[in-house]
Structure 1
Amino acid sequence: MGKRFENKVVVITGAGGVLCNAFAAAFAEEGAKVALLDINEEAVMQNARMLTEKGCTAKGYKADVLDQESLKQTRERVNADLGTCDILINGAGGNNKRATTDNEFHDFDLPEDTKTFFDLDKSGFEFVFNLNFLGTVIPTQVFAADMMGKKGANIINISSMNAFTPLTKIPAYSGAKAAVSNLTQWLAVYFSKTGIRCNAIAPGFLVSNQNRALLFDADGKPTARTEKILRNTPMGRFGEADELLGGLFFLADEQQSSFVNGVILPIDGGFSAYSGV
């Protein structure tokens, strides 16, 4: 019996990061030919090299998900190196401190140096929204052009718990991920006659380099925010990157999910199901 994604071409944006690199490795080990895209050229080349050393088919490309012309050139290189895209995973995204408040609730007695909603930088909002939302739109415009009519073609976006209920302190990121979920449903309808399915996963709380400072102090002790997260996650722990793979593979596998379209799949330890009471 062949590997699950034998000879499928999987394009993954944000593959210089820990999470999307784990996605790339998992697909490569299942026989896919994986294109790892990221603006961080050094990281993505190293990640691709590690996969090829294991005997997998993988290639890294420096790519800016907000630069359409650059992405079109990358697509041509991917097509020449690996073939046209079968599965697109829009993994590029993230938050920025310029769009993050210090306080969860506004109060009249806040310390003078508190960064409130009124102090947030417009450019911070633009950066976060563009990276997450347009960083999903533009790669889809570029790579989906080659996917139409291909059997098993599908797009998987990365949403978030923020998309269901916004988390405190991070209004731009919450809004952007809600937009990604909405776009996922829109694309599912738009491409429904072309054979392309579009779904998303919505990860719960995982520890990454991006959020580590929010979750643990300088001594490695859990912050008050971590305590809140774990208290409101019925399974009582953070998730692991590998625990996203089952949902990701399910959505990507045409044999298992050929009639699944426009779904935002929570993988969150029960967080989205719990009212806190």
Structure 2
Amino acid sequence: MIPIHENLKDRVAVITGGSGVLCSQMARELARQGVKVAILNRTAVKGEKVASEIAMAGGTAIAIETDVLNRESLEHAKETILQQFGRIDILINGAGGNHSDAITGPEKYDDNTEGKSFFELDENGFSNVFSLNFTGTFLPSQVFGKELLKADAPAIVNISSMSSYAPLTKIPAYSAAKASINNFTMWMAVHFAETGLRVNSIAPGFFLTTQNKDLLVDGEGNYTARSKKIIEATPMKKFGEPNDLLGALLFLVDESYSSFVTGTTLAVDGGFMAYSGV
């Protein structure tokens, strides 16, 4: 069991994409730490389910249907949070994802390989994936940022990816967007450094989630060839579990642990980035 961070009690955290596999676990843990949590996502019922689970466990949470690409929707969410909780201390930019329109079939170009080639990728699909991941981090940071600056020890945590360092095959839009997250994290960290607002990012290694399940598990529940390549390249020889991210999250949002840490992207990857393959 992770120790309680008394320093976080009664703070308020906003989590976009808060009903997802990874971010919902972050929401539950922050609530266990005494943080009041606002779960923002496009589908109200999914967020309400997580908020209800938190309440049943003795925590405090609300769910707000929000489109992270719509400023008006975000402003409405902000006003609701301030009415309910009166402040905002932490922003976790977890909204993101991929789409089949922006994924190639083959890993490398081959005229004879089945599946969508690079030249058949849909322009709108590509743009939508990039926007969801990058603009969907920029806009919430802008909308909630002014409230964060009023807090004593504000923190933003963006969610990056292994594909931000070296792009993964098949997913060019997602990889490019996540690379931009690392850069944007550093930019914001410098921009706000003298205000006390710290901005960092977590880059999860490979976790089985709803958005990548079709790439990593076949219809019978077995690992795909892609999964086997990932496991082979991960020194710990396993996929991550959502709980594996929680220590990194708490470290980054609690200034008593990380007051001099800003502009960093922290990899939680089972050694994936450290392994050269030899």
> How is 1:19-168 mapped onto 2 (pairs within 5 angstroms)?
19-111=22-114, 114-168=115-169
Q: Distance in 2 between matches of 1:151 and 1:236?
A: 41
4+ residue runs of structure 1 moved beyond 6 angstroms?
none
Q: Distance in 2 between matches of 1:110 and 1:127?
A: 26
C-alpha contact 1:149 1:194 (8 A) present in aligned 2: no
Out of 99-108 and 238-247, give the one that drifted further: 99-108
Quote the residue 2:261 is aligned against.
Answer: 260
Letter in 1 for 2:109: H
> How is 1:232-271 mapped onto 2 (pairs within 5 angstroms)?
232-271=233-272
Quote the residue 1:176 is aligned against.
Answer: 177
C-alpha contact 1:12 1:91 (8 A) present in aligned 2: yes
Letter in 2 for 1:115: K
Structure 1 unmatched ranges of 5 or more: none
Q: CA deviation at 1:4?
A: 4.3
Which secondary structure does the structure 2 equivalent of 1:61 belong to?
A: strand
Out of 167-176 and 80-89, give the one that drifted further: 80-89
1:197 corresponds to 2:225: no
Q: CA deviation at 1:54?
A: 1.8
Q: Distance in 2 between matches of 1:181 and 1:231?
A: 26
Q: Distance in 1 between matches of 2:7 and 2:218?
A: 41
Q: Distance in 2 between matches of 1:149 and 1:188?
A: 17
TM-score normalised over the length of structure 1: 0.97
Letter in 1 for 2:208: V
Which secondary structure does the structure 1 equivalent of 2:263 belong to?
A: coil
Q: Distance in 2 between matches of 1:57 and 1:227?
A: 40
Structure 1 residues 162-186: Cα deviation after superposition (integer angstroms, max 9, x where no partner): 0000000000000000011110000
Give the paired residue count. 275
Q: CA deviation at 1:2?
A: 7.0
Out of 79-88 and 165-174, give the one that drifted further: 79-88
1:14 corresponds to 2:17: yes
Q: Could you say what the CA RMSD is over the residues aligned between the two structures, in angstroms?
A: 1.2
TM-score normalised over the length of structure 2: 0.96
* Identity value in percent: 48
Structure 1 residues 187-210: Cα deviation after superposition (integer angstroms, max 9, x where no partner): 000111211000000000001121
Q: Distance in 2 between matches of 1:25 and 1:110?
A: 44
C-alpha contact 1:4 1:31 (8 A) present in aligned 2: no
C-alpha contact 2:87 2:151 (8 A) present in aligned 1: no
Structure 1 residues 240-273: Cα deviation after superposition (integer angstroms, max 9, x where no partner): 0000001111011110000000000000000011
C-alpha contact 1:136 1:157 (8 A) present in aligned 2: yes
Q: Distance in 2 between matches of 1:150 and 1:49?
A: 27
Q: CA deviation at 1:149?
A: 4.5
Q: Distance in 2 between matches of 1:110 and 1:245?
A: 41
C-alpha contact 1:181 1:264 (8 A) present in aligned 2: yes
Letter in 2 for 1:97: S
C-alpha contact 2:88 2:151 (8 A) present in aligned 1: no
Q: Distance in 2 between matches of 1:49 and 1:223?
A: 35
Q: Distance in 2 between matches of 1:83 and 1:179?
A: 32
Q: Distance in 2 between matches of 1:147 and 1:183?
A: 17
Q: CA deviation at 1:48?
A: 0.5
Letter in 2 for 1:239: G
Out of 211-220 and 102-111, give the one that drifted further: 102-111
